[in-house]
Copies of this chain bind each other. A is one copy, B any other.
Amino acid sequence: MLTTFKAKATKLANGMQVETKSRNFTFLIDEPKSLGGTDIAMSPVEVLLGALGGCQAIVAAAFAKAHDITFEEFHTEIEGDIDLAGFMGKADVRVGFQEIRYTMHFKTNEPREKMEEFVAFIERTCPVGDSLQNGVKLVNAGLVLE
């Protein structure tokens, strides 16, 4: 059974500032000054990396018990490469990420082999990771001119 998740992004009056809303939660998005923004918040591609990291952390938290794993601390470091010449229209390269890398850190006494299996489980269970790795059909559902 499909669950539909929703968000709305509204351009603010000031340059590239955007307010993003889902349910009753909001956060801001902007660009650094080097890309023409006012640098009050993360850029969209940084938010995307954060969503992947948050997803990995939540899968780790949600499924540790079922895998008989105890850990005291978890963080994940994410980085990804973009050739901005594509976005600027200066080169015929893809505009999106060419690769995204992550390093997960656990404070735990569990053996490495068990943790490597748990990481493989996190990788295949994280909805954001699956969406990025396998791609998603994007559909233009309409253009409203007011």
Q: Are A22 and B49 in contact (CB under 8 A)?
A: yes
* A33 on interface, CB distance cutoff 8 Å: no
Question: Which applies to chain A's interface (DSSP): helix, strand, loop or mixed?
Answer: mixed
In whole angstroms, how far apart are the Cα atoms of A79 and B61 in the complex?
A: 26
Instruction: List 28 contacting pairs A-B, 8 Å CB cutoff, sorted by A.
Output: A1-B83, A4-B79, A5-B82, A8-B77, A9-B50, A10-B57, A11-B61, A18-B53, A22-B42, A31-B62, A44-B55, A48-B48, A73-B146, A96-B129, A96-B132, A97-B127, A100-B136, A100-B139, A102-B141, A103-B141, A104-B144, A105-B144, A112-B145, A119-B140, A123-B138, A129-B138, A132-B136, A133-B137
